Amino acid sequence: MVEDIQRVFVPSVTEEDGGTIGLGCFSTEKVAWEVLRTFLKRSEEMLLTSSSVVVWDIDRVGEEAMNVLATMECKDCPVCSRRTFWIDLENFSALCHGSACSAWIEENTVDPEIIDCGWPTIRFLKQNKSIEEAVRELYKLGDRLRAAGVSEQNSVSAEKLMQEHLEQSKD
């Protein structure tokens, strides 16, 4: 027996020129997010400014039929400098979808006064008092990596750089 679909989930992205690209219409939120995340991995190939996931209730008229689940803005990543850093403005979190980067920022799950940030490539994790401070920490890390000529794929040099960064942070 086929289940009646009561709502659909629609991921989309907005280009710099204002055009919107719909990525499909899905019966589950999980699939909509998977499609959007997969698409965002290629975001550096396009001039994108934002993305969203919208849920539409079937057989409803007007604004009440639509609910925006999430809206994200695209910025340059503070670590890898590519335009792949997606920021969810509603539930503050950010993630670089660039290949081999994955720099991130999010509210601490235990203490909402703390903002965590990190770069998994070198297991960098830092707790901050504000979003601005977290962004500054990632920019500092990105600046150090570029100054040292370290790419994301060069993990031995990245490990050494991380140790130096942690030692300097203690001073």
pTM, whole model, 2 decimals? 0.77
Percent of the chain with pLDDT strictly greater than 90: 63
Please state, in angstroms and rounded to a whole number, the distance separating the CA atoms of residues 144 and 161: 8
pLDDT of residue 147: 86
Catalogue the long-range contacts made by 61-67 (C-beta closer than 8 Å, 24 or more residues apart). none
Encode pLDDT of 92-124 as tens digits. 899 999 877 999 999 998 998 999 999 998 889
Please state, in angstroms and rounded to a whole number, the distance separating the CA atoms of residues 113 and 109: 10
